[in-house]
Structure 1
Amino acid sequence: MKKISVLNDVMGPVMHGPSSSHTAAPFFIGTIARALLGEEPASATFAFDPMGSFAQVYRQQGSDLGFAAGLMGLPITDETFPRALDLAAEKGIEIRFAVEPLSEADHPNTVEIRMTSRGGRKLSAAAQSIGGGAIQFTRVSQWPAELRGDAHEMLMEVTRTAGPEVLECLKREVKWVGAPERQAKRGLVVLHVKLQSALDPETKSRLRALPGVSQLWTAPPVFFPLRGEPLFASAEEMLALAGSRSLSLGRIALAYESELLGLPEQEVMAEVVRRFEVMRTSVHHGLEGKLPPMQLLHPSARKIFRAEAESRLAVGGIHTRAGARALAVMHINSGGGVVCAAPTAGSAGVIPGVLVSLVEDKGLS
């Protein structure tokens, strides 16, 4: 059963709109692809199956910008995100998007990645956007894989005869989580290890120099690594645990996330507050007069908010203001601005609309 994280799966990601699946996920895929390549990219082709959704919307929903920004190593909220393709060209990175039949397209959001570094290193991989900004790499080079961006990952390709010796060296050199996964094919073996932390350059160089090692790929987490176990797996268990500890549902959720991520509760709360401030900023920005253009609609949240304040609506009150605030966030999202998906970009307005209304209209902390 998948471990559900509040920050990874419910209240996030913080991202440029308009789509968590088609804008944020491509950014995360591009980020991991850059890391797997291991050198500064010179060229990249992102190929989409003609029957998949990427082929239909990659320009309209900013998938091309997400792939390019991730490939360059930009932060996801970088103000230059809308210019990512131009910036890549200025840096001499050739990015191409192709629509062609893919043999691995068993998901509508599948992308095949073909990259070359400035030093001549090559990477072939396949990845999928699986909803709400979540991703998975399903292949690295010739090897089936499962990289979800929630751990420090390392894959080593070695000759079959060198495999045992390399594994013993890994035990001395790195600290891993769980047991290494092993695949074999035509005299080669790939070892897939989840690490407790990123490899330093010196350790990476020593591992690459081991006899029998032909390839080494590493990838950082793009979400919070899951270091612990969930405190509960159902609403019933949550209620029971909250009762036994005399905690509110909010406090037991905080304890859950702290345990799952292996972080102090203060750090988890600080990140929650940071994301709330992203939400509040998107509300305020969406109620301003000058907004980034949307593709199909004209902004209306500001008009509704002002009409409610002037008692010109048949039904007003905090519920109407919350609705207008939620709509304001969606204006920002649709215009490619920065929002906090909750849990997707398509529903990014509801939680901010409610929370900001409670804070600003009811004075809650």
Structure 2
Amino acid sequence: MVTALYRRYRPENFAELIGQTQVTDPLRTALRTNRVNHAYLFSGPRGCGKTTSARILARCLNCAEGPTDTPCGVCPSCVELSRDGSGSLDVVEIDAASHNGVDDARDIRERAVFAPARDRYKIFILDEAHMVTPQGFNALLKIVEEPPEHVKFIFATTEPDKVIGTIRSRTHHYPFRLVPPAQMLDYVEHLAREESVEVAPGVLPLVVRAGGGSVRDTLSLLDQLIAGSEDESVEYERAVALLGYTHAALLDEVIDAVARHDAAAAFAGVDRVIQTGQDPRRFVEDLLERLRDLIIVGATSAEGAAAVLRGTPEDELERMRAQAVAFGAVELSRAADVVNAALTEMTGATSPRLHLELLVARVLVPASDDTHRGALARVERLERRVGVADAAAAPAPAA
């Protein structure tokens, strides 16, 4: 039985927590200057470190060398609150989703009166705090407002607006946020090296994209790919199939066909999407993502594109640059608008294949677009045919 990645690599101090400096820096300063509040509210998307930060804060407060911003890791309290620890009697973690009523709040009040069994503070961590009923919060209000000297409260929630205002106003509120893709990519690359797993080029950016900025979700997906890999190697084809994304080769096929105005090849690509059982809406999302990448590649230098599209292999960047040139800036922008509009129309559609084929038709035929961008696309196409663009781009002869 193997422990999940997100549990094996759960941070044990604030320095190990990634992407949350707006929270960790002021908390560490408060710990160093001994200005710790009696109640905290940690809010933010799922899997971004709220409950982990609550445990780290409890570890910092009850460390034998503390309160400190860097727990020692060897004292009884630190060992019990480590990622593999058994838990501490003086740190009470409560699932507020199932303990959310008045009786549960009264139980917390009664337990808060008693002094800690061994450590400096008795700390109550209420996870999913937004699930507590208004009556439950009101029953907690007095103890949260004026707790005994030895009591600290930490509320963790994904929906801070559901925590009643009288509780929120008595806490220090720290909003967590999703981890940026570049930082997440560095992190999963580091974990892959730690796990001695060889990952094919292009896989980790897909994992980061699928994780959506949530560290736990991203590590769960990476763990799933590693578990299903052979010879400690994660292959691109298997990752694409498991994550549900469109294979880069199929995207290239459709993009190249549209750039050449080859309707037969474009519709053949659409047919492959359907015949392989892929979700048409997911294909359109991936197509829009690729068009966005082409716009970036076409508008920036090679170094700039590599910096923005981190994790993209060099050969793929070169291929995308050729595709961007084949399309042209105006046509790329128009195609992205058409695909984006079609993606909205496909929500709840009863015939997604029909919408997908109509989308390809609209992208292929600028004449069907009577907007300003459609007119510009037609002009650009004519200029390409007569060589005006090439002549304009050529350097003037020396005098």
Larger radius of gyration: 2
Whether TM-score is above 0.5 comes out as: no
| TM-score, normalised by the number of residues in structure 2 | 0.25
Q: Which has the higher strand share?
A: 1
